[in-house]
Structure 1
Amino acid sequence: MTTSALAAGLAVTTVAEQAADAIRRKIIAGELPEGFQLRQDALAAELGISRIPVREALVQLEGEGLVRIVPHKGAVVSEMSVAEINELFMLRVLLEPLLLKKSVPRLTPADFAQLDTILAEYKEELHAQNPTRWGELNTQVHNLLMSRADQPRTAAIVTTLLQQTDRYTRLQLSLSAESCQRAEEEHEELVRLCKAGEVRAAASLLKHHIEHARAELEKFILSRRRK
């Protein structure tokens, strides 16, 4: 790749990120309501850029859960269900601490080494503002912590719940830098407590961690709808 081609690639990436920031702010502020169709040509004209970085921005926002890209229709602002959030996250609050309590005493040094690796990557992706990996890495941390519970049916239910809350997790982390920092710190503390064998404290933190995410999402969605 030539120097000019590389510079052009970097410029497009920068413009796409700026476009994503602008569209994200409008969605979070409620200026673009749920179900609103995001036309690439209109957005490009409004932002004074070409359609290529707008398209890349919409793909990025889809990764954050703020946008859905629908075949034959294009991008629309995602619809967020408070009822769905409450149901999914409360089921996680009920089930995940139970699995964690059974799993922690059986976790091995190899498990904790793998957790440290995942946490390092999670921290890197949070700091890099790369939301497409946030949900995946969050799920890996939670699943690995519960992997030794020896309750496969309950574990399968929790895995499904984590998949169903993936877009909400990415949205919650994208709301603010404080949300990212809190998630990073709570995951690190959760693993530390598990390593120390402090099962009850770990289960309590996990419950609080999930409940806080639910409450933050509910507050965001309700405040957006009042605007």
Structure 2
Amino acid sequence: MNPLLKHRTLSAAVLDQLRKAILDGTYPAGAQLRQDALAEAFRVSRIPIREALFQLDAEGLVRFVPQKGAVVAELSTEEISDVFELRRLLEPRLLARSIPSLDAGDFARLDALHAQMVAATAANDLGRWGQINADFHMALYARAGLPRSLTIVHGLLQASDRYTRVHLGDVAGMGIAGMQRAVSEHAALADLSRAGDIAAACGFLDQHILTVHEDLLRELERSQREAMT
């Protein structure tokens, strides 16, 4: 194997595993991510660890703090609002550009992803659910012809996954209801897109993102109140 390709493959694998560990709470908010300890755990040099941490910093999952190095980013209302407001700006634009070019194969993929989301909801598999959710949104926008915007949105969806796990993980409260609602709304988005109703689909998408945003802010505020009592 080409040494450069091998290095890139290794770095990508480390990045994927670190991202998953942050999203599933293995490394909670505020946890220090020491490069030497991670390198030993992954049995790699510090180079792919450093590259992965810089990428996670770009994604908003990690912050570099003086005297401490890389730490898992805290959840905050400002960060959540930044991510979801950007999504509301970019995703309806992508959907409007994509809908006219979506074909039968694209809708078959959307239907398959929706079926997978139904199954993940039934199994309460949050890790799988979050990935399917991101894949579904990216499949909706696949024909937009705007690769730079798609790359940005992909990163925003990854950041959103961490926040939605906080909300949907509250199974005793709103978690299951939130997952079921999202499944229903994704079906509606696919139907509106299939019908070619661009205005209705984009309006529905904007409301879909806004609803999740508002739910997350309420959940974070509730958690903060409980932590203070």
Q: Normalised by the size of structure 2, how large is the TM-score?
A: 0.66
Deviation at 1:79, TM superposition (A): 3.5
Whichever residue aligns with residue 224 of structure 2, its letter is R
Residues 40-51 of structure 1 correspond to what in structure 2 (within 5 A)?
none
Which one of the candidate residues 119, 128, 134 is aligned to 2:114? 119
In 2, distance between residues paired with 1:108 and 1:225? 46
Contact 1:174 1:180 in 2 (8 A): no
Paired AA for residue 122 in structure 2: H
Alpha-carbon distance in structure 2 between the residues aligned to 1:166 and 1:105: 28
Larger Rg: 1
Q: Is the 8 A contact 2:121 2:176 kept in 1?
A: no
Structure 2: which amino acid aligns with 1:166?
D
Q: Does 1:154 align with 2:149?
A: yes
CA positional deviation for 1:220:
0.9
- The 8 Å contact of residues 21 and 27 in structure 2, kept in 1 or not, is answered as yes
Distance 1:155 1:63, change over 3 A: closer
1:77-88 correspondence to structure 2 within 5 Å: 79-88=74-83
Q: Which residue in 1 is equivalent to 2:191?
A: 192
Using the alignment, how far apart are the partners of 1:166 and 1:115 within structure 2?
A: 19
Matched, 1:105 2:104: no
Query: What secondary structure, in the 3-state scheme, does the structure 1 residue paired with 2:132 have?
Result: helix
C-alpha change, 1:112 and 1:104, in structure 2 (3 Å) is same
RMSD, aligned α-carbons: 2.5
d(CA) in 1 for partners of 2:192 and 2:25? 31
Comparing 90-99 with 170-179, which one deviates more in the overlay?
170-179
Q: Aligned residue for 1:180?
A: 179
Corresponding residue number in structure 1 for 2:217? 218
Residue 191 of structure 1: how far off its partner (Å): 0.4
Equivalent of 1:138 in 133, 142, 146: 133
CA distance 1:161–1:71, shift in 2 (3 Å):
closer
CA gap of 1:162–1:189, structure 2 versus 1, over 3 A, is same
Task: Flag as ranges the 4+ runs of structure 1 deviating above 6 A.
Answer: none
- Taking the aligned partners of 2:25 and 2:208, their CA distance within structure 1 comes to 20
Q: Deviations 1:81-107 (Å, cap 9, x if unpaired)?
A: 110000000000010001100101100
How far 1:171 sits from its partner (Å)? 2.4
Q: CA deviation at 1:172?
A: 2.6
Per the TM alignment, residue 173 of structure 1 is displaced from its structure 2 partner at its CA by 2.5
Q: Which amino acid in structure 1 is aligned with residue 197 of structure 2? A: E
| Closer/same/farther in 2, CA of residues 62 and 156 from structure 1, 3 Å limit | closer
Number of aligned residue pairs: give it: 166
Q: 1:90 and 1:194, CA in 2 relative to 1: closer, same or farther beyond 3 A?
A: same
1:88–1:161 contact (8 Å) kept in structure 2: yes
Contact map agreement 1:134 1:170 (CA 8 A) in 2: no
Deviation, structure 1 residue 165: 1.6
Give the residue type in structure 2 aligned to 1:151: L
Residue from 86, 93, 106 that aligns with 2:88? 93
Gaps of 5+ in 2: 1-19, 38-71
